[in-house]
Amino acid sequence: MPSQSEMLQTLLERITGALDLDATVSVVEDDETITGVVDGEDVGLFIGHHGHTIEAVQHLAQRVAGEATEGERRRIVVDAAGYRAKREVMLQRQADEAADKALESGRPVALDAMTSSERRVVHEYLRDRGDVETESEGNEPDRHLVVSPVKP
């Protein structure tokens, strides 16, 4: 049976081929995560409007590579042209703004709907602040985070 990395590599190569992208696919591993990276001239089609396509591909990759191998259970991440890092910086900026607003007003602040991976980034980013707490609310695809001041 192929490894998670091999399955991810094959899946991403098939998708980029089907999209007729002039792109290369590489897979990077560490102890916790397997990251498939797509690089090329025009990976905008792969990322999609507001990241919808890359999120769908990541979901598919988690289903195919993440659950199909026995014994191996690492998180699967799909990235293209540094999209994840850029998106993480933007999410952290939004999280800081929401936290500051919640502290100023003393009231919870709701963020826009996000994917589960984006919500995880914000939860983890704000967790260590100590002055705010986060909670996910709503149902997919409208599930969002609420940032609230910590009650004394």
Name the DSSP letter for residue 81: T
Q: Write out pLDDT tens, residues 81-128.
A: 999 999 999 999 999 999 999 999 999 999 999 988 899 999 999 998
Name the DSSP letter for residue 142: S
Evaluate whether 98 touches 123 at the Cβ level (below 8 Å): no
Q: Write out pLDDT tens, residues 64-81.
A: 886 666 666 788 999 999
Res 43: pLDDT? 93
Span(s) in the chain for CATH 3.30.300.20: 4-81
> Hey, which CATH number is domain 86-149, 1.10.760.10, 3.40.50.2000, 3.30.70.1230, 3.30.1370.50?
3.30.1370.50
What residues pair up with 79 in beta bridges, in sequence order? 37
Structure tokens at 129: 């602040």
Strands 75-80, 144-149: pairing is: unpaired
Span(s) in the chain for CATH 3.30.1370.50: 86-149
Res 67: pLDDT? 66
Q: Write out pLDDT tens, residues 45-60.
A: 999 998 989 999 999 9
Structure tokens at 76: 């699967």
Amino acid at 140: E
Let me know if domain 4-81 sits in CATH 3.40.50.700.
Answer: no
pTM to 2 decimals? 0.80
122 closest CA partner among 96, 95, 102, 149: 95
